[in-house]
Amino acid sequence: MSKSKIPYEVYTEEVEALSVLSPDGEIVNKDKVPNLSDDQLKELMYRMVFTRTWDERAINLGRQGRLGFYAPVSGQEATMVGSEFALDKNDFICPGYRDMPQLVWHGLPLYQAFLYSRGHQHGGQIPEGVNVLMPQIIIGAQVLHAMGIAMGYKLKKQQQVAITYTGDGGSSEGDFYEALNFAGVYKLPVIFFVQNNGYAITTPFSKQTAALSIAHKAVAAGIRGVKIDGMDVFAVISAVQEARERALKGEGATLIEAVTYRFRPHSLSDDTSKYRTKEEEGEWSEKDPIARLAKYLEKKGLWTEEDTARVKEEAKATVNEQIKKAEQTEKMTIPGLIDSMFETTPKHLEEQKADFQ
C-alpha cells in the first residue's frame, strides 16, 4: 500500500489528528468543512449547548437523588452531538453507557433517558422507529452488536450504516478486536467511533495501550483507521460523513479515533483530583468544542451570546419538565418484571408472582 498523503489516515507511522476548526474558530482545513446550511449550523450549535446544560442539570439532579446512575458528558459534545448529526435518521446507534446524547438526538425521549438513569425499565423501551440500543453497561459488547447489525444491513442490501461508540478503555477489550476483525472480513457498513478522552475511570491512556494510536488498531483488522480532533465538531462530522459514504459504497468499516476530553468526573462517585491535574484540565478547557463553534458562528453572524443564554433557558425548562414526567411515570412492579422475562410467562414464574401480590 502506498503511503498516505492524508495525515489523519493511519498506516504504520504516527499521525496528526484531523482538525478543521481551530480553537479560535478559524477554518484550518478547507477541504474538510462539512457542507451544512446556516440553519443546520445553528441547529448543531443549539444541540451542543442544550446537551451541556442538560449535563449540568443532570449532575445536580443526581446530587439531589432524583437521578441514579449517570455518566457526565461535558467536553464531549462535539463527538456525541456531531457524530449523530452526520447520520441518517435510519442509521443504527449502539451506544456505551456514556452515550445518552446520541440516543436522545436520534429520537429517544429525554424523560426515558431519565427513567433509565433512575433504574426504571421503561427507560430502555425504545420507541418504534428509533434505531438505537439502550446504553450498554458491558464495555465492548455493543461494538459486536453494531457489527452484527451492519451484517444485517449488508445481507438485506439496505443502504444504512451502524455506528457504535466506546472509549479508549473499551478499545482494549477482546470484544472490540473481534468486532473489528469481523467487520474487515465481511466488509461491513459499520463505523467504530472511539472517544478517547484520555482516561478509563482512573487509568490514563499511556497505560491503556502501547499502540501509536487507537486508530492504528484498524490496520490489523484490514479496515480504515482515522484519527481526528474530537473537540472539533467539523472534524467529527466530516469524518463520520466520509466513513458513512464509504460504507454505503461497499468499501467497508472505518475506525475513527476522536481525541477528546471529559471535563467532569467519570461518574458521580469519582474524584478526578486523585489522577488528573488542574493544569491538564485547564489546557483542555481551552479547546472547548462549544466555544470553538460559537466563535465561528459569531463571526458569520449566525450566533450571539444571547442565543446561548436563550438555549440554556430552554434546555433547563425542558429538563425540568422531562424529569417531572419521569418522576410521574407509573412505578415498576415485580409481577410486571416477571412478565417481561418471556413472551409467554412459564408456569413456574406465574407461581413466583404469587409471592408479590
Residue 53 interacting partner from ligand TPP, another protein, none (CB closer than 5 to 8 Å by kind) = none
| 11 catalytically annotated | no
Task: Count how many residues are written for the chain.
Answer: 357
b/e per residue 96-132 (b: at least 16 CB within 10 A): bbbbbbbbbbbebbbbbbbbbbbebeebeebeeebbb
Q: Which of 118, 224, 262, 276 is catalytic?
A: 262
Shortest Cβ distance from residue 320 to another protein (Å)? 21
Shortest Cβ distance from residue 71 to ligand TPP (Å)? 7
Quickly tell me which residue has 475506525 as its cell: 255
CA distances from 319 to 30, 60, 312, 325 (A): 37, 12, 10, 10
Residue 172 interacting partner from ligand TPP, another protein, none (CB closer than 5 to 8 Å by kind) = another protein
Q: Which of 47, 118, 266, 292 is catalytic?
A: 266
Strands 199-200 and 203-204: antiparallel
Shortest Cβ distance from residue 246 to another protein (Å)? 28
Stretch that binds another protein, among 8-16, 52-60, 168-176, 254-262 (CB under 8 A): 168-176
63 in contact with another protein (CB under 8 A): no
Shortest Cβ distance from residue 194 to ligand TPP (Å)? 8
125 in contact with another protein (CB under 8 A): no
Amino acid at 165: Y
200 in contact with another protein (CB under 8 A): yes
107 within 8 A of 92, measured Cβ to Cβ: no
Shortest Cβ distance from residue 169 to ligand TPP (Å)? 3
Distance from C-alpha of 352 to C-alpha of 83, rounded to nearest angstrom: 45
Strand-by-strand arrangement of the 224-229 sheet: 92-94, 162-167, 190-196, 254-259, 224-229
> C-alpha angle 55/324/266, rounded to 5°?
25
- Under rule CB under 8 A, which residues in 245-264 are in contact with another protein? none
The residues binding ligand TPP (CB under 6 A) are 98, 137-139, 166-170, 195, 197, 199-201, 266
Q: What is the dihedral of CA 257, 263, 266, 272, to 10 degrees?
A: 120
Residues of the shown chain interacting with another protein in the complex, contacts defined by CB under 8 A: 68-69, 97, 118-121, 123, 137-140, 169-170, 172-175, 200-203, 207-209, 274-275, 331-334, 337-338, 340-341, 348-349, 352-353, 355-356
Catalytic residues: 262, 266, 275
